[in-house]
Amino acid sequence: MTTTIEPPELIEPEQPGGPAGHGPDSHGHESEHAEHGPSGLLKWLTSTDHKVIGKSYMITSLVTFFISGAMALVIRAQLSNPTSSLVNFQTYNELFTMHGSLMLYLFAGPFAFGGLANYIVPLQVGAPDMAYPRLNALSYWLYLGGTSMMTLGFVVAGGAASFGWVAYAPLSNSINSPGAGTDMWLMSLGLTGFSAIFTGVNLVATIFYLRAPGMTMFRVPIFSWNMLVTGLLILIAFPVLFGAVVMLFCDRHFGTHIYSVQGGGVPVLWQHLFWFFGHPEVYILALPYFGIVTDIIPVFSRKPLFGYRGMVFATLSIAALSTGVWAHHMFTTGVVLLPFFSLLSYLIAVPTGIKFFNWIGTMWGGQLSFQTPMLFSIGFLFAFLMGGVTGVLLASPPVDFMTHDTYFVVAHFHQVLIGTTVFAGFAGFYFWYPKMFGRMLSERLGKIHFWLLFIGFWVTFLPQYVVGLKGMPRRVADYLTSNGWTGLNQLSTVGAMIIGFSFLFFLVNLVTSWRKPVPAGDNPWDGGALEWFTSSPPPHHNFTHLPPIRSERPVWDYNHPEHRKDEGHGEKRHREHEEKVGANS
Amino acid sequence: MRINGLILSVIGIFFGIIAIFYWFTAYEEAGFLMLLGSAVLGLLPGGYYLWWSSRMRPLEGDLPEATMAEGAGVIDAFPGSSIWPFLLGMAALFAALTFIFGLWLAPIAAALGLSAVVGGVMESRRGGTV
C-alpha cells in the first residue's frame, strides 16, 4: 500500500482558537486511529513507519544492552578476587569480547542512529517519514539478524568470538581463533555494517531533502544536525570496516594472506583499517549523544541554545578531525607517525571544549529545573569531562606508551562511552519517552535511577584509573595477591553492582508507566523543536499541521508569542534585536 | 542546497589536505588511500550539489520565509507497509550463514532474496509514483 503525502497545512499562531486539539493536555492517544495497515505481529514485520522501526531498534538495542551489561557484571565478579575461578579463561575471553562487541556495535550506535534518530529526526525537521522507508525497514532487519547471529555465537561449538572487540590479526586468523563463533562475529559485523550504512544514507537524505518549508539548514535542531554529521561519518567509516572484515574472512577460509606474514601480508594493516573505522566510530557513538544533550539543556534552562552556529561548526570539525586520528590507537606498534596523530588528537579537544562552554553558557543565568532528563544530561557533562580529559592525556605518546593496554585506558573509554551512551542516551530516553508513548515516566524512580547510576559510575571507574597506573593490564582473567590490586578491584566491582542495581529502577519505571499510565500531553517539557508540536504519540505521517518555522525553536515561538523573534537566530542577532527594541522604547 | 554542497566540499577539501600532508610525512599507503577516498566521498556529492544548487528550483526547506502553502503538492510516495524489506533482510542473514555453515543454506537465501527483489519492484510499480 502506498500513500501519497501532501505537506500539512499552515496554522498561524494568531488564528483565534488555534489549531484543533493543540495544547499541552489535549488528544492523548487518538492518533492511534490514524494508523492503517496490518496490526499485531504482521504490523511489526511489515511496518515502514519510522516510528515503529525506531521503537523496534530501541527495544532490540536495550535488550542487547542488558545482556551485555550482565556480562560486565560477571567480568567484574571474576575480577573481585585474585585467582578467582568463577569462569574459566576461555569463557572470560568470550565474555569481554562479546561485552565490548555488543555494547559498541550493537547497542551504542543503533540505539542512537537507529532508535532515537529514526524516531526523532523526521519529527524535528517536519518530515512525514524517513526519505527511504523501505530501506529503513531493511536496516532494522539486517540489524536484528546481525545481533542475533553475534549473540548466538555462544551456542556453537568452540564458543563465541574471543579475541577482543578489535579482532587484531593474527589473533583472529583461522589458526588462533578457529570455530564458527568467530565467523558469526565477522558476518554479523557485515550485516550490521550495511544496516548502519543504509541508516546513514536515510538520515542524510531526510535532512537534506525532507525539511519542512522554512526549516533552513541553520534552523534544524542540533540533534538532527549531529545525526546528519553522524550519517556522513557512517558513510566514511563503515565501508572500510566491511572491506576489512571481508578480507579477514578471505584470510580465514579462502587461502588469501592479506593479514598474515607467511604469504607476504601485513598484520598491522588490519589495525590501520580497523581503526580508520574505529575512531570515527567513537564519534558515531558520541555525536548523537552530544546532540541529545544539546537539545535537552536549553529546554530545562528555559533559554535558547547559546552558540547555535558554534555547535554546528564544532560538530563538523570534530567529525572531520576524527577521521585523521585513527593511529593514536596504534602508538605502541612503532610503525605510525607519532607527531601527526598526536597533534590531530589534541586538536579534537578544541571543538569539544567549544561544545562544553556552549552547554555551560546555555545553562548560565537560565531558570534551571532538574528533572530526570536534565539530571542525566548534567551527569553526562561530568562523566564525559573526566573521560575526555584522560583522553587528552592518552593523546600524548609518552603517556600512552606507559598506559597502553592497562586499566587506565579501560577506565578512560568507559567514562567516555558510559558518559555518552548511558547518561546522555537515557537522558534522551527519559526526554522523548512521553513523545513516543504518550505517557510519562515517574520522576521519583528516574531520579533514584540517576543517582544510583551516577554514584556507581564513579565508584566503578575511578579505582580503575589507579589500578591501571599501578600496572594492571586489561583483558586479564586473574592476578596475584602480591600485585596489590585486590582492594581497588573490589571497590570497582561494588560500583558495577550499584550500576546494575540502578537499572532495576529503570525497569520498574517502565513497568509502572505501562500499568498506570500518566498521560503526557503534546509538550510536557515545554520544548521548542517541532516534535513537540504534534500529538504524543504522533499520527501515522507525523503532522496534521505545522507552525510557521522562523527560528530553530518554532514551537517555542508559537507557544510563547511574547518572546517571538521574527527572523534570525543565535545570540548575536537576538542581542541586536533586543538593543533595537530597547532603543525604540 | 548550496550550504549542503559547501559543507560536503569543505569536508572533502579538508580530507584532501590531510591526505597529502599524511602521504608526505608518513609514507604509508593504507591510511593515505583511505583519506583520499574520504576526500572523494566529500567532493563528489559536494561538487554536484554546488553545481546543481544554482540551477535547481530552490527547496521550500531552504527558503527562510517559505510558508506551508508554498510547499503544497505531493512530497513523495511513502509506502504504508511492506513485507519485502523483512524478506530481503532474512535473505541477507541466510546468505551470511551460507558462508559459515555451508552451501546447503544457499537455496533458502536465493529464494528469499529473489522473492523480495521481485516483490519490492512490483510493489513500487503498483504504487505508481515511487
DSSP states along A239-274:
HHHHHHHHHHHHHHHS---SS-TTTT--HHHHHHHH
Pair type for strands A9-10 and B76-79: unpaired
In angstroms, the CA B80 to CA A541 distance is 10
Do B92 and A142 make contact, defined as CB atoms within 8 angstroms? yes
Give the model confidence (pLDDT) of A50-59 as tens digits: 999 999 999 9
B76: β partners: A5
Look at residue B130 in the predicted model and tell me its pLDDT. Answer: 36
What total number of domains does chain A contain? 1
Give CA–CA dist A91/A95, Å, rounded.
6
CB B70 within 8 A of CB B63: yes
DSSP-based helix, strand, coil % in chain A, nearest 5 = 70, 0, 30
Q: Which of A7, A273, A540 sits opposite B72 (nearest CB)?
A: A7
What is the DSSP pairing of strand A545-546 with strand A9-10? parallel
Nearest CA in chain A to B49: A208
- Alpha carbon of A498 to those of A200, A280, A378, B81: distances in Å? 36, 31, 19, 43
Q: Which domain holds residue A317?
A: 47-584
The per-residue pLDDT for range A347-405, each reduced to its tens digit, is 999 999 999 999 999 999 999 999 999 999 999 999 999 999 999 999 999 999 999 99
To the nearest whole angstrom, how far is the Cα of B38 from the nearest Cα of chain A? 6
Chain A environment of B79 (Cβ under 8 Å): 1-3, 48, 133-134
* CA closest to B63 among chain A residues: A214
Please give the distance of CA A228 from its chain centroid, rounded to a whole number: 13
Mean pLDDT of A331-339: 91
Backbone φ, ψ for residue A509 (5° rounding) = -60, -45
A18–B contact, CB cutoff 8 A: no
Alpha carbons A211 and A207: distance in angstroms, whole number: 6
Helix, strand, or coil (residue A545): strand
Sign of CA dihedral A119, A122, A125, A127: negative
Kindly list the residues from chain A whose CB atom is less than 8 angstroms away from the CB atom of residue B120.
Answer: 134
- Please tell me which of the candidates B73, B81, B97 has its beta carbon nearest to residue A46: B81
**Residue A44 confidence (pLDDT):** 87
Tell me what pLDDT residue A6 has.
56
Q: Which residues in chain B (52-91) have CB-CB distances under 8 A to chain A?
A: 59-86, 88-90
pLDDT of residue B123: 83
What integer pLDDT is reported at residue A5 of this predicted model?
Answer: 57
Q: What is the pTM of this model?
A: 0.90
pLDDT of residue A418: 94
Task: Tell me whether residues A216 and B81 touch, CB distance under 8 A.
Answer: no
Residue A286 CB contacts under 8 Å (≥ 6 apart), including other chains: A416, A420
Whether the pLDDT of residue B111 is over 50: the answer is yes
Q: Inspect the interface and report whether the beta carbons of A180 and B101 lie closer than 8 Å.
A: yes
- Does the beta-carbon distance from B60 to A212 stay under 8 Å? yes
Give the separation between CA A186 and CA A259, rounded to whole angstroms: 15
Question: Considering only residues 507 to 546 of chain A, which have any Cβ-Cβ distance to chain B shorter than 8 Å?
Answer: 540-541, 545-546
**B29 at A interface, C-beta within 8 A:** no
DSSP-derived secondary structure for chain B: -HHHHHHHHHHHHHHHHHHHHHHHHH--HHHHHHHHHHHHHHHHHHHHHHHHHTTSPPPGGG-TT--GGGG-S--EEEESB-SHHHHHHHHHHHHHHHHHH-GGGHHHHHHHHHHHHHHHHHHHHHH---
Give the Cα separation of A368 and A354 in Å (integer).
21
Q: Do A340 and B22 touch (CB under 8 A)?
A: yes
Q: Is residue A120 part of a domain?
A: yes
Question: Which cell goes with B15?
Answer: 580530507
User: Which residues on chain A are in Cβ contact (under 8 Å) with B61?
Assistant: 125, 209-216
CB contact under 8 A, A10 and B67: yes
Cα A30 from Cα A446, distance rounded (Å)? 27
The position carrying cell 528516574 is A446
Q: Cβ of A145 and B89 within 8 Å?
A: yes
HEC string of A192-232 equals HHHHHHHHHHHHHHHHHHCCCCCCCHHHCCHHHHHHHHHHH
pLDDT at A574 over 70: no
Q: Coil, strand or helix: which one is A175?
A: coil
Q: How many CB atoms lie within 10 A of CB A13?
A: 15
| Best of B8, B14, B38, B103 to mutate (most A CBs within 10 Å, chain A) | B38
pLDDT for the residue numbered A20: 35
B3 φψ region: left (φ > 0), alpha (ψ -120 to 50), beta (else)? alpha
Whether A10 is covered by a domain: the verdict is no
Comparing alpha-carbon positions, the chain A residue that sits nearest to B22 is A340
pLDDT recorded at residue A567:
46
B7 touches chain A (CB under 8 A): yes
- Does A189 lie at the interface with B, CB-CB under 8 angstroms? no
The CATH number that applies at residue A405 is: 1.20.210.10
Phi and psi of A195, rounded to 5°?
A: -55, -45
Contacts of A304 (CB under 8 A, 6+ apart): A298, A362, A528, A552, A553, A569, A571, A574
Q: What is the mean pLDDT of residues A478-494?
A: 95
* Predicted pLDDT of residue A585: 46
Interface probe with B: pick from A46, A185, A202, A228, most Cβ of B within 10 Å: A46
What's the gap in Å between the CA of B78 and the closest CA on chain A?
Answer: 5
Contact A233, A319 (CB under 8 A): yes
Residues 6+ apart with CB under 8 A from A228: A203, A204, A207, A208, A220
The neighbouring-strand residues paired with A4 are B77
| Nearest residue to A19 (alpha-carbon basis) of A545, A489, A574 | A545
Q: Chain A 217-276, CB below 8 Å of chain B: which residues? A: 217-219, 232, 235-236, 240, 249, 253, 269, 272-273, 276
> Is-contact A355 A290, C-beta < 8 A?
yes
How many angstroms separate the CA atoms of A233 and A236, rounded?
A: 5
Among residues B59, B115, B106, B9, which one has the least CA distance to residue A214? Answer: B59
Quote the distance between the C-alpha of residue A565 and its chain's center: 32
Cβ–Cβ gap B1/A208 under 8 Å: yes
Q: Cβ contacts (< 8 Å) between A49 and chain B: which residues? A: 81
Taking an 8 Å cut-off on Cβ atoms, the answer to whether A7 and B68 are in contact is yes
Each residue's pLDDT tens digit, A398-413: 999 999 999 999 999 9
pLDDT of A29 strictly over 50 = no
Nearest CA in chain A to B122: A1
C-alpha distances in Å from residue A275, one per residue of A195, A238, A325: 20, 11, 9
> What are the boundaries of each domain within chain B?
2-71, 84-127
Nearest-CA residue of chain B relative to A206?
A: B61
Q: Could you tell me if A88 lies within 8 Å of chain B, comparing CB atoms?
A: no
- Under an 8 A CB cutoff, do B31 and A316 touch? no
Q: Would you say residue A48 has pLDDT above 80?
A: yes
Q: Residue A278 has which C-alpha cell?
A: 574505529
A486 or A34, which is more confident: A486
Q: Which of chain A's residues have a Cβ under 8 Å away from the Cβ of B34?
A: 240, 272-273, 276
B42 vs A292: CA distance, rounded Å:
26
Of the candidates B7, B74, B130, which has its C-beta nearest A6's C-beta? Answer: B74
Cβ of residue B4 closer than 8 Å to a chain A Cβ:
yes
All three cell numbers of A469, joined, read 597506573
pLDDT in tens, B32-89: 999 999 999 999 999 999 999 889 888 888 888 888 777 777 776 777 788 999 999 9
